[in-house]
Amino acid sequence: MLTTVLDVLVAVGAGLVGGVFLAFSAAVMPALRRRPPAEGAAVMREVNRVILNPVFLGVFLGTAVASAAVLLVGDLAGRIAGLLYLLGSFGVTIAANVPLNNRLDAEGEPVWAHYLTRWTAWNHARTVACAAAAVLAAL
């Protein structure tokens, strides 16, 4: 029963977080790329502040907790799903996207072109990791 609940939490959480990441890859970042650099950078800096809210952080961090728990008690597919979420979503966010966000916040427009390329590439990786984790957890 516990493993079933954890698998559902990981599947739903990874799906929701992956959906946010997909929206950024498919729509938000391409739209910001079309704006003048100062405007794109300013909007992204504000998005990075607004995303740190209880709803997104609750799902993002809650899924990390469920993923860690499923690593301990889950079956093979669940454990792989948990690992994918922890490394491919949570880990990439902490190791790659957050440092890029911090640099954009500190330096703004001068780093915008570099930011767009790097941040979006890492975001694609997070999107794929979340989708794979959701599918495996659902199995």
Percent of the chain residues topping a pLDDT of 90 = 96
| Distance between CA atoms of residues 23 and 51, nearest Å | 13
Q: pLDDT digit string (tens) for 82-138? A: 999 999 999 999 999 999 999 999 999 999 999 999 999 999 999 999 999 999 999
Both structure tokens of 43: 């909007």
Mind listing the pLDDT tens digit for each residue in 29-84? 999 999 999 999 999 999 999 999 999 999 999 999 999 999 999 899 999 999 99
User: Closest Cα partner for 14 from 53, 94, 95, 70?
Assistant: 70
C-alpha distances out from residue 125 to 22, 84, 118, 119, 122, Å: 10, 11, 11, 10, 5
With residues binned 3-state (H G I as helix, E B as strand, rest as coil), the percentages for the chain, rounded to 5, are 90, 0, 10
Predicted TM-score of the model (pTM): 0.94
Which of 22, 20, 28 lies closest to 46, judged by CA? Answer: 28
